[in-house]
Amino acid sequence: MKIELSGVFAPITTPFIDEALASDQLKKNMQVYKQTALSGYFALGSNGENKSLDDSEKMKILEVIVQEKEKKQLVMAGGGYESTIRTIAFCRKLADAGADLVSVLTPCYFKKAMTDEALIGYYTDVADALSIPVVVYNAPGFTGMEISPKALGTISQHPNIIGMKDSSPYKYSRYLEVCDTNFQLLSGSISALFPALTLGAVGGVAALANAFPRMCCQLFEKFKTGDLTEARRLHFMLSRMNNAVSGRFGVAGLKFALDVAGLYGGIPRRPLLPLKKEEIKLIREDIDASNILDLESNGI
C-alpha cells in the first residue's frame, strides 16, 4: 500500500536544556501537535538540527515522536548521510524504530561529483535496500546544490521512492513537469505551499507549523475546499511570518516563535547563536502585528 503524503507536516524542532536533549519538552510539544490536523511529522530534519545530533540522540527523538503522535499521523524521519553505506545502515535503524518513511537528503560534501548518474545511483541503492518508502530531500539552501529535474524524472520511477520534499525556493513546477503523476511533491516551506499546490503538489513540510500548526493546516484546508481567495490571503500572511521568523533568523528564530506560542522552543545548539535582544524585539513586533497568536489559539 502506497503511503499518502497529503497535507501539512511539521519538521519537529529538537528541545535542548543546557545543550542536552530534553525529551520531556519534546513530549509536551507533541501533546499540542497531536490535537491538530497535521498529517504527520518530519523527524530529524534540518530544523530538527539533524547534523548537530549524534545517532543515539537521533534515535531517542524518533522514539518520542513515534510514541506520542496520533495513530493516523505519519512519521517521516531524516536518514541521509554522505555515503550510501552509512545512509542505508541508519535508515534501517529508523525503520526498525517505527518511522513510516525516510527522507534522504542529497549527499552534498562532494558536490561537484554529485552528477545525475551519481544521484540516481545513490537513491536507487538506498531505496532498493529499505523496507519503507523513501522521500528525496532537496535543500539547496543547506547543501549548496540541487537535484536536476532530469535526474528526478528517473528517480521518481522507482517503486520505493514515493515523493520529494523540495526546499528549493521555486523549482516545483520544473520538478512536477518531469515526474510520474503519482509521485508526491511536498513543498519545503509554508511560503511555497500555496503556489506548489496550485501546480499539483500534495502538501508541504512547514517549519512554521512547529509554532502555528493550525494556521498552516488551515491554508491547506482552504485550498482543498476550493477557497482560493482565502488560501491566498493565508499564504501571504504566513509567508510574511515565515520570512520574519525562519527567513531572517533560522532555527533560533523558529525556536523563539515556539516559546512565544506557548510551546517549548529554547535555543539551538552551538555554533548556532541564540537571538539577541534586538532580534527578539523584531520578531515579537511582527508576531504581535500579525495577530497570529489569537488566530492560532482560536482555531482560526
Residues that bind its own copies (CB under 8 A): 19, 46, 49, 51-54, 81-86, 107-115, 117-119, 121-122, 125, 141-144, 169-171, 173-174, 176-177, 191, 194-195, 198-200, 228, 232, 235-236, 239-240, 243, 250-252, 269-273
Helix axes 228-242 and 190-199, enclosed angle (nearest 10): 150
Closer residue to its own copies (CB): 144 or 262: 144
Q: Is the peptide bond before 271 cis (omega within 30 degrees of 0)?
A: yes
| Closest distance of CB 259 from its own copies, Å | 18
- 299: buried, middle or exposed (CB in 10 Å: 19+, 13-18, 0-12)? exposed
Closer residue to its own copies (CB): 121 or 262: 121
Closer residue to its own copies (CB): 74 or 164: 164
Give the cell for residue 295: 488566530
Run of H or E including 6: none
Q: d(Cα 196, Cα 172) in Å, to the nearest integer?
A: 6
- The catalytic residue among 27, 112, 150, 165 is 165
Q: d(Cα 272, Cα 255) in Å, to the nearest integer?
A: 12
Closer residue to its own copies (CB): 36 or 242: 242
| Closest distance of CB 17 from its own copies, Å | 13
Q: What are phi and psi of 137, to 5 degrees?
A: -120, 110
Q: Is 27 a catalytic residue?
A: no
| Closest distance of CB 50 from its own copies, Å | 8
| Closest distance of CB 34 from its own copies, Å | 28
| Integer CA distances (angstroms), 19 to 15, 49, 267, in order | 9, 12, 8
Q: Indicate which residues carry an active-site annotation.
A: 165
